[in-house]
Amino acid sequence: HFAGDDNIKELPIVLEELLRIS
C-alpha cells in the first residue's frame, strides 16, 4: 500500500484486531 489514505483507513482496523487479541 502507498503511504497515505490507505494507511489511515487500515490503522483503526489493525488497532481493533490488537484489542480483540488482548
Compute the half-sphere exposure of residue 19: CA atoms within 13 Å on the CB side of its CA.
Answer: 6
Contact (CB, 8 A) for 18 and 10 = no
Question: Does the pLDDT value for residue 20 go beyond 60?
Answer: yes
What percent of the chain is predicted at pLDDT more than 90?
A: 23
Question: Does the pLDDT value for residue 3 go beyond 90?
Answer: no
pLDDT of residue 19: 93
